Structure 1
Amino acid sequence: MKLQMKVIFAILTGILFVVSGCTNKSEDTKKTNLKNQAETKAKYEIVEAKSFKVKNIRGIGYPGNDNALYVAANDGIKMYKDGKWYKTTTNQHDYIGFQAVQSGFLSSGHPQKGTGLKDPLGLVQSVDKGETLQKLAFYGKVNFHFMAASFSGEGLYVISEQPNDALNLGVNYSTDGGGTWKKSAFKDFNADSLGMMAVHPKNGAIMAMSTRSGIYYSTDNGNTMKLITDPFMVTALTFTGDSILYSSVENDQIVLKTLNPTSGEQTNITFPFLDYDNPITYLAINPKNDKQIAFTTYKNDLFESIDGGTNWNNLMKDGKKEMK
């Protein structure tokens, strides 16, 4: 029987277009190809970005090999550090499923045109701030909209929307960097949706999933799941040590809380007011400094706090960083 997989907030996956090449040999096409080749062969550099407009945010995080907040977009990585924004001069890939880890970042997605990389990227890793990509698995075969990884790199999870020789339909996990995969049994999982996943920063066997009916938590790679919240819609989550930072929609209000899955203790986090139609889509905490928190919204707003949520800076509004 074909499994129908639903996901919370279709905004998190989006509609992805693969644009095929054209065999037209007209002069205009030749000029365009030469221009693309020149752009993608440019020297890779990280340069200050005075202004930009992000169409789609694919994920955020604090890689362990840098001191910046990374925003993965449909046109490459944007980096915020010491009050300034930066972007890359090339390798502006559509980084879908972006995950910040100790060594750098993991991602799936689609390559920038003209780079010579296969589409889709499969599962790739960068340890040099996006200058090069290491192909870990499924290169040129699979694009993963939903991924999660332990900051330590010891646990990796993907949602497979189509089964293949290595993956089963649904949630699969790897403990060897994508070399081999096993299916998560998801015993006692009763939600009608699969959603965003998060992994404990040090213990890759501990993971959680947000659904339209609460957070499910597992200590055995998703083989046994336990509902640890009331049945409300959870739109984003991430681990902060042994606890979980999550955003939910409760009584027509957007809330931000931390929850300890073992003790059940919860703490409310103050944050700037958000309209009901602008929920939180991605959350990130710097594993090297748990006072540094960031989140994005449906309308591509980006906020960051460096004091645990007491004060917030609006770093991006409607996906825009305006020139000052």
Structure 2
Amino acid sequence: MKGHKLIYFTILIVFILAAAGCTNNTKESKKTEQDQKTALPKFDVTAAKSIKVNRIYGIGYPGNDNALYVAAGNGLKIYKEANWFETTTNRHQYMGFQAVEDGFISSGHPQKGTGLKNPLGLVKSDNKGETLKKLAFYGKGNYVFMASSFSGKGLYLISDQETDQLNTGVNYSKDNGQTWQPSKFKYFQADSLGMMAVHPVNGDIMAMSTRSGIYYSTDNGNTMKLVTEPFMATALTFAGDSLLFSSVENDKILLKTLNPATAEQTNVAIPFLDYDNPITYLAVNPKNLNQMAFTTYKNDLYESSDGGKTWNNIFLKGEKEQE
């Protein structure tokens, strides 16, 4: 994988990179006062009178909370029992957000005044972001393109530059980020890298969506197999042993399930989406496969509790007023 040209595909990727200014260097941290603490409110999770987000960087169902988490540009937004909640402080810009069994793993940038270095590197929280455990690259890197198994036994990231621990391209860790190995990506023929997903239990199994279809691997991305036709896939996640993915085909936004072993695909009905509003993130609750959600480029959020038979529009264009 070393030396592979990183061409991040779809308007989503361009949008994220441009909006976030993501790099793996530390110039920004040297120019800010992130190491200095300022007076911030005491951490709490409170009901939100209204929700407004202008950037979404990931969604998921942490195993230690019966809720849908949205990683937004202004901190975590939590949807639980048909109500929205948000944190009073620690409103970090979580990027590469991954829900896991005991909380979430993320990269990104800290809220000013928290005393945390910028960028965050890889951090983990088991208490809704009240505290962060530093896993790797603290103050050194921001990794927008990450994936983790729900069990936490497989962690992947894409690095845009070579470091003493990472190769350019896809790297994986089996020990919570302490050591890293490059994914060799043998038989990978797409001209782009895209979103990754990891099997919820077996961290050796991963998949990647590209503008040339979906690639699947059972050995940490060392060998890759194209398991779909060469269409543009914009997002994917695991639903048990199957994949749930979105594609753009014949100017239509589609949602499907895929059995990687047989390549069998099944359509999942979704509300109509304009061609310029593709699906950007997908999430399935590993504890309840009928519970799933997706976001779109224009910051719409939909959730289903019956396996995709019906969908609830939780917010539109990043906004929602509590009833």
**Aligned equivalent of 1:55:** 54
CA contact (8 A) 2:83 2:322 kept: no
Whichever of the two has the greater Rg, that structure is 1
2:188 is the counterpart of 1:189: yes
**Aligned equivalent of 1:27:** none
Q: CA deviation at 1:52?
A: 2.4
CA contact (8 A) 2:237 2:282 kept: yes
CA contact (8 A) 2:3 2:168 kept: no
Cα shift readout 1:209-238 (whole Å, capped 9, x = no counterpart):
000000000000000000000000000000
Q: CA deviation at 1:8?
A: 1.5
Q: TM-score, normalised by structure 2?
A: 0.93
Write the distance in 2 (CA, Å) between the matches of 1:8 and 1:101: 26
Write the distance in 2 (CA, Å) between the matches of 1:89 and 1:205: 37
Write the distance in 2 (CA, Å) between the matches of 1:275 and 1:312: 17
**Aligned equivalent of 1:7:** 8
2:158 is the counterpart of 1:159: yes
Q: CA deviation at 1:3?
A: 4.7
Task: Specify the SS of the correspondent of 1:109.
Answer: strand
Task: Specify the SS of the correspondent of 1:37.
Answer: coil
Task: Specify the SS of the correspondent of 2:294.
Answer: strand
Task: Specify the SS of the correspondent of 2:84.
Answer: strand
2:172 is the counterpart of 1:169: no
Task: Specify the SS of the correspondent of 1:277.
Answer: coil
Q: CA deviation at 1:11?
A: 2.4
| Letter of the 1:95 counterpart | Y
Q: TM-score, normalised by structure 1?
A: 0.93
**Aligned equivalent of 1:221:** 220
Task: Specify the SS of the correspondent of 2:17.
Answer: coil
- Which runs of no fewer than 5 residues in structure 2 stay unpaired? 22-27
Cα shift readout 1:249-277 (whole Å, capped 9, x = no counterpart):
01111110000000222111011110011
2:80 is the counterpart of 1:81: yes
Write the distance in 2 (CA, Å) between the matches of 1:119 and 1:21: 8
**Aligned equivalent of 2:229:** 230
Task: Specify the SS of the correspondent of 1:256.
Answer: strand
Cα shift readout 1:91-143 (whole Å, capped 9, x = no counterpart):
00000000000010000000000001000000000011111000000000010
**Aligned equivalent of 1:294:** 293
Matches within 5 A, 1:122-137: 122-137=121-136
**Aligned equivalent of 1:245:** 244
Identity %: 66
Write the distance in 2 (CA, Å) between the matches of 1:21 and 1:171: 29
| Letter of the 1:90 counterpart | T
Task: Specify the SS of the correspondent of 1:38.
Answer: coil
Q: CA deviation at 1:4?
A: 3.0
| Letter of the 2:244 counterpart | L
Write the distance in 2 (CA, Å) between the matches of 1:61 and 1:223: 26
Write the distance in 1 (CA, Å) between the matches of 2:194 and 2:218: 18
**Aligned equivalent of 1:31:** none
Aligned CA-pair RMSD: 1.5
Cα shift readout 1:162-220 (whole Å, capped 9, x = no counterpart):
11000000000000110100000000000000000000000000000000000000000
Tell which has more relative contact order, 1 or 2 (C-alpha 8 A, sep 6+): 2
- Which runs of no fewer than 5 residues in structure 1 stay unpaired? 23-33
**Aligned equivalent of 2:38:** 37
2:60 is the counterpart of 1:65: no
> Matched residue pairs, number?
310
Q: CA deviation at 1:10?
A: 4.3
Task: Specify the SS of the correspondent of 1:307.
Answer: coil
**Aligned equivalent of 1:119:** 118
CA contact (8 A) 2:98 2:147 kept: yes
With 218-227 and 3-12 compared, the bigger mean Cα shift is at 3-12
CA contact (8 A) 2:51 2:84 kept: no
Cα shift readout 1:49-97 (whole Å, capped 9, x = no counterpart):
1112101000000000100000001111000000100000000000000
Write the distance in 1 (CA, Å) between the matches of 2:12 and 2:308: 25
